[in-house]
Each structure stands twice: as structure tokens, then as C-alpha cells.
Amino acid sequence: MDVRTNREYLAYLLEQLIEFQATFEDFMQLHVEWTGTGRGLLPAVAPREGADPERIRDLTAKLNLLSGRLMELSSVTDVKLGVEGQSRPIDPFVNWEQITTPRPLLEPSTVRMTCKQAQGRLEGLSARAKAMASPEIEPSRLHPVVWSTAQRLWNDGHLRLAVAAAAEAVTGQMKQLTRRNDAADTTLWQQAFSERPPEVGKSRLRWPGDPTDQGVKTMNDGLRQFAPGVNMVIRNPATHTDEEIAEQDALEKLAVLSSLMRFVDRCEVAAAPVDRAPATTER
């Protein structure tokens, strides 16, 4: 993958660069810039009189750590510096400490300028990557019943168990709405969306609207097949097998469960009058 289109990595580089700039300014507060005779021969900066040497060492170490994290910044942003006498451009971030050496290849103003230029390019690359990005599934934006149940297991790396738990939670919502727990889950889903009128002890879930409307009929027919199918192809394998599943596969399964739960949320509960005679067992 081209790192210039990786939004997460670009954000990481930008975060490290901003911290580098702030630390560099702290470093410069303890130094003075050399502007007199010998410029270009003597170090570009020298410790300020009375500056704490230990503090300077700590800031130097931190800048070196940050510049290590930014080792690819120059190539990602194409921010390089041509220096007279050097056969190739130098990386101004990794080589920032040149300002403290005799015959310095860099000056503080150069470090500041290239940092700002790199920051601007990172922001531009991030904006382009965002505009070009394909839609992504955000787990936290799945239906609350699904994600609140799956989250802890998911974060612990138990993806199959997260899917199984979410599927059980969705089925549990259906059971609560229909007030049933007297048959296998797939059977309960089939009966919840059955075409037959509600019976005592067998409430139905109905898509809202005029039941004679073709669109409403289509939704009810679709849910009658979709809901049991989800239970059979997602819940059952996740519950009855030990084989782990890949993250993308697990995420897509959670998305399907989330869609089913949102459909259920929109359905109305159709219940039989309590005085209706008991119905025969459905087959």
C-alpha cells in the first residue's frame, strides 16, 4: 500500500512532527544562534549562558527519538534539502542535530522552514487520502445492541465469540418483543415473520405500513427469509464451531447483524387478543 494514501500513518507522522516542532522550540530556548564571524564554520547554535546541561541532554535525546519516528517523513512529503558540496539532498529531520556541529549543514531557520513545509504537505496528503477513501465500517457505529455486546470480546481479540454474542443479543431482542422462548431460534425467527395472523403466545413482527401495499409485502417477505437465514449462516457457525474468523469477515458479520437489528427496531409487534382460543402448533 502507498503510505501516502494511508490516513492512519499520515496522521501518525503529523502527530510526531508537531511534537518534534514543539520540542525543537524548547531546545532553542536553551540556545543562542551564532550570527557573527565564523558563521558556516562554527556550530549554528551554542548553549545559552546558564542553561541546564541535563535539560539540554534530555531534549536532545527526545528530538533524536522523534526524528527516528520521522525517518520516512522526507520521502513521504518529498521535503529534502540540497546542500552545497553534498552529492545528494539531505533529510532535514533526521539530521537536525547538524545545527550543533562545526561546519553545520543546517541552521535553525532551515529546520523550522522544512518542518512547516512538511506539515503542510502532510495535511494536503491527508485531505486527498480522505477524499479518495472508500467507505469504512466503524464498529462503534453499529447498532448499540450489537456493538455493546461484542465490544469487550472484540477488543480482547475473541472475534468469533464477539459475533456469537452479538447474534444471541439480536435474537434475544426478538424473543423479548414476541415474548417467546419456546422453540429453536431459527424457528422463532421464522414464526416471528410468519404470514399467518398472530396467535395467543405467538406474536408477530410486521413491517410498518399498509399490509396490502406491495412495498410492505416485499419487506415482510424479505425479512421472513433474511432473519432466519442470518441466524443459520452467522449465529450457528459462530456458536457451534471453534474455528476463528478473520477480522474483516467478523466485522462484516457484525454489520449484517446490525442491519437485522435495525429492521427489527422498525417493525411493529402484532399480538393476538388474549381471549383468542389457543392455536395449533406451527410446523
Span 5-23, pLDDT tens digits: 899 999 999 999 999 999 9
pLDDT, residue 88, reads 87
Is there a contact between 252 and 150 (Cβ–Cβ < 8 Å)? no
- Please tell me the distance from the alpha carbon of residue 205 to that of residue 227, in angstroms, as a whole number: 11
Span 35-50, pLDDT tens digits: 887 788 999 999 999 9
Report the mean per-residue pLDDT for the chain. Answer: 92
pLDDT exceeds cutoff 80 at 128:
yes
Span 259-271, pLDDT tens digits: 999 999 999 999 9
Phi, psi of 160 (to 5 degrees): -65, -45
pLDDT, residue 283, reads 43
- Please tell me the distance from the alpha carbon of residue 149 to that of residue 170, in angstroms, as a whole number: 10
Span 141-185, pLDDT tens digits: 999 999 999 999 999 999 999 999 999 999 999 999 999 998 999
Maximum alpha-carbon separation in the chain? 107
- Please tell me the distance from the alpha carbon of residue 178 to that of residue 188, in angstroms, as a whole number: 9
pLDDT, residue 1, reads 56
Closest Cα partner for 204 from 191, 215, 213, 214?
191
Span 57-89, pLDDT tens digits: 999 999 999 999 999 999 999 999 887 777 789
- Please tell me the distance from the alpha carbon of residue 106 to that of residue 88, in angstroms, as a whole number: 14
pLDDT, residue 86, reads 77
What confidence category does residue 132 fall into, taking pLDDT thresholds of 50, 70 and 90?
A: confident
